[in-house]
Structure 1
């Protein structure tokens, strides 16, 4: 049972006096506190530290945590150069990289990014799958690739990843098509369903697709992306956590919390309430939880990190058969 955190690489999660260079120290602090992974997200919307740059800074500063993307958007980058960069990160981290990918979705965080990257929005899912297939070919030593969208002949040898075949690649998304594609070809599943029951249903579909492709259930890591805010103590107002998470939702997505909760997993409240809700997802099958901390400055991020760290033993125990 792995539990990690999403580092706040976007300026919307920094206070006016925060230094983004302190993100590396926050990552080290999370590792010392017992978290098993550090993830970063990826977009061109708003000022932020670029995802792969952040992971490159964390690689020599940490020892054992998984370093991951949640989720990397391959359409923002040239595919061969991205394969080289990811192989280099896997090598420099000693095989600690996990690459969750996504194709984006309609609206502010989707179509404009394709336009900025000069990549067609149409058939984005097929293009995503083909990009991942290209990466795996290059990581395995293949020098050519001939697909529908991407065609390369005689690619010079590139950096070999630490692990043969390269880092595991996970897929975000929970549509029926995404579940089937995850089971057939990806190494992990990183959705964010608001209801644990939907997680369980989706995971069954992923495993059925995996079995249909001749794969074992253990070939696909069942992960979960969830936003967390803990507000506890004798003087805590039950509404404080929701107000803080509402401010986070508006700053990050430009939408109120009540709208965000309809599309993403969000857990707020006392430590007991957060623990119980996370355990519901564990009972539904999640085995790698990536928690985004609902705070808008690095001091508050550190506070939330410590609060969540106190729950690690109980949530991990819930994942032991």
Structure 2
């Protein structure tokens, strides 16, 4: 498996006295420690370093790791401008960008973001798919695009990405409709189901939809977004992860783990939890480290790095 880490770009992960400029050193340490990828999250409703700015800063100071969005919310940006920014990061990184996208979901991180962006909530999934299609058209050098939401003629030549056709685009989400759309249209799948059995069945649906669309299952990266905390034992790990859940989501761990994948405990507990997803078909893990300041984030980064030989 490829093992990546979600960068602690949110202020809740820096701590009250943290300096976000330390994220550059954090990323370099992750690459040197053997991680396969570095992902950055996206939002407007919590203080954080903007996703594409973070990845652009990392492009020239890293050499090997994939730089990913987890997940980018395209409706927050004008689509042509976003295509240009993504192509630029792919170019500057030498073709190391992976773009996981989502449409948001009801609640705090859904409809309010659409209102701030002055984009309709209705038909958001169709808008997302069309935006990705527009990106790909621009990355392929096309100068016009005609869709339901975007009707653009005589588009000036855009920056070409490093890779012909542009970076791979993954989809988050695990509803039946999201599984079908992933199989038909996307290059990867980045969900966070709390039960590995749901991951297995969801991946089977993705592969079925891909086959129906004449695509190969091997062309779709099966990834997983999961919160990880390594501690002395399960009880200590859950206590720390509960504080993390409250700080980041305003909810206890008991509620968070009903909707998101979480593994915690001693190293052997974490290995066992991740192995269940590996056995269910996951091949690229993106781990969000459960720590609330940058020194603790780096400690978790090192503890998790010690497990990489047994996972990869």
Matches within 5 A, 1:101-180: 101-180=101-180
Which secondary structure does the structure 1 equivalent of 2:98 belong to?
strand
For 1:202, the equivalent position in structure 2 comes to 202
For 1:287, the equivalent position in structure 2 comes to 283
Counterparts of 1:15 and 1:273, CA distance in 2: 27
Counterparts of 1:68 and 1:46, CA distance in 2: 19
For 1:319, the equivalent position in structure 2 comes to none
Which secondary structure does the structure 1 equivalent of 2:20 belong to?
coil
1:222-262 deviation line (CA, Å, top 9, x unaligned): 00000000002xxxx54221111011111111111000000
Instruction: Report how far residue 18 of structure 1 moved.
Output: 1.1
Counterparts of 2:68 and 2:300, CA distance in 1: 20
Counterparts of 1:18 and 1:61, CA distance in 2: 21
Matches within 5 A, 1:268-287: 268-287=264-283
For 2:81, the equivalent position in structure 1 comes to 81
Counterparts of 1:58 and 1:252, CA distance in 2: 24
Task: Report runs of 4+ in structure 1 exceeding 4 Å deviation.
Answer: none
- TM norm structure 2: 0.99
Matches within 5 A, 1:32-43: 32-43=32-43
Counterparts of 2:255 and 2:122, CA distance in 1: 27
Whether 2:240 is the aligned partner of 1:261: answer no
Whether 2:236 is the aligned partner of 1:240: answer yes
Which secondary structure does the structure 2 equivalent of 1:163 belong to?
coil
- Where does the alignment leave 5 or more consecutive residues of structure 2 unmatched? none
Counterparts of 2:198 and 2:235, CA distance in 1: 27
Whether 2:310 is the aligned partner of 1:311: answer no
Which secondary structure does the structure 1 equivalent of 2:228 belong to?
strand
Q: Give the RMSD, CA atoms, in angstroms.
A: 0.6
Q: CA 1:160–1:279 in 2, change beyond 3 Å: closer, same or farther?
A: same
Counterparts of 1:217 and 1:238, CA distance in 2: 36
Instruction: Report how far residue 14 of structure 1 moved.
Output: 1.3
- TM norm structure 1: 0.96
Matches within 5 A, 1:36-115: 36-115=36-115
For 1:301, the equivalent position in structure 2 comes to 297
- Where does the alignment leave 5 or more consecutive residues of structure 1 unmatched? 317-321
